[in-house]
Amino acid sequence: MIKDNKLRTTALALVVCLTGLAVAGSRAQAQSAHAGTAAGTLTVDGKPIPLKYAYVVDVDNVEEAGLLIGGPRKVTVIVLSDRSLPLSSVNDRNSPYSERLSPAQYFAPSAASPANKIYGIVLKLEPGKANPLGAQFLYPGGDSLSFTVAGTEYPDRVTGLKRVGGILSGTAMVAAPQQTHLDKGPKKYQYKAEFRAPILTEIPVKQTIEGKEALDSPPVLALKAYMTAGKAGDIATVRKLTAASHQTYLSNKEFLESLKSFEVDKIPEQVKRVVIRGNTAAIVVVSEKPSYSQTMMHLVNDKGEWKMYWP
């Protein structure tokens, strides 16, 4: 994911479920263990749409802790929707777009996701606060990107929050119709829903590495080899160091040409930390000049070899 002063891309996702035991009990039988229930309505241009499903993810943002655009360390993402979503879509901070691992997957039309077919709301909450850090309206075929501005006061509220036995419940709403400001698509929306959902967590942090140790770590050495090969036009090596999910991008001549602009010599000053979770790694790269930019480059360990999720 890329965050900078010109464009802050945050694939945010939030989760919501039902409190009524009778309805929750009957629905729970038909739902997957990761899904919760919601009871409420999303009204879009005057049309009521039942909200039935909720998903919650607790995030510990180790990757961006202490950085300029890091935001709060602890955040809860809540997604409330009219359709069910697979666990692969709602298992991390990017819920309900958790399948997307790189900037190209966010921007490319080919980066389809089950979330592209739902009506719903995504909220991002700090612990103990009713008003969210971010709020996003989802509609079928809509733009998955969410742009947030520091200090923005969202009218959405989450009240009556309770955490009991790994379950988060409460009520999410926006009291007055909200303008979407879309040239194409819905013009107004409003919602209110009770929710009750199991609290999911991201894959635990296995290792956080900084300083010289980070520069000597296998993920950063793989990044350096990838950048060196790209700059030299060595496509065979670039392909070898690219994850299977991103091989398709290597047929794009403009992308391959862009690899020649890599500034390999700046790796020592720009790599701030490496965070390893399970078989994936996030390399946090910060460039302070000419303007501040912050990038997380992700890799996957494939049979002992680190490979890039890039572009």
Give residue 6's pLDDT. Answer: 38
SS3 state of residue 271: strand
pLDDT tens by residue, 244-278: 999 999 999 999 999 999 999 999 999 999 999 99
Strand partners, 197: 168
Q: pTM of whole model > 0.75?
A: yes
| pLDDT of the residue at 27 | 40
Q: Taking residues 46-69, what's their average pLDDT? A: 96
Domain ranges of the chain: 2-201, 205-309
Q: What is the pLDDT of residue 103?
A: 85
Query: Which has more pLDDT, 182 or 52?
Result: 52
- The CATH T-level fold of domain 205-309 is Nuclear Transport Factor 2; Chain: A, (3.10.450)
- pLDDT at residue number 71: 82
Alpha-carbon distances of 159 from 3, 80, 152, 173, 175, rounded to whole Å: 30, 15, 19, 9, 12
Contacts of 48 (CB under 8 A, 6+ apart): 41, 42
Mean pLDDT of the chain: 87
pLDDT tens profile 1-29: 444 433 333 332 322 332 332 333 434 33
- How do residues 147-161 score in pLDDT, each as one tens digit? 444 556 899 999 999
At residue 93, the 3 state secondary structure works out as: coil
Nearest to 132 by CA among 152, 160, 147: 152
Q: Which residue has the tokens 């077919």?
A: 117
Q: What is the pLDDT of residue 143?
A: 63
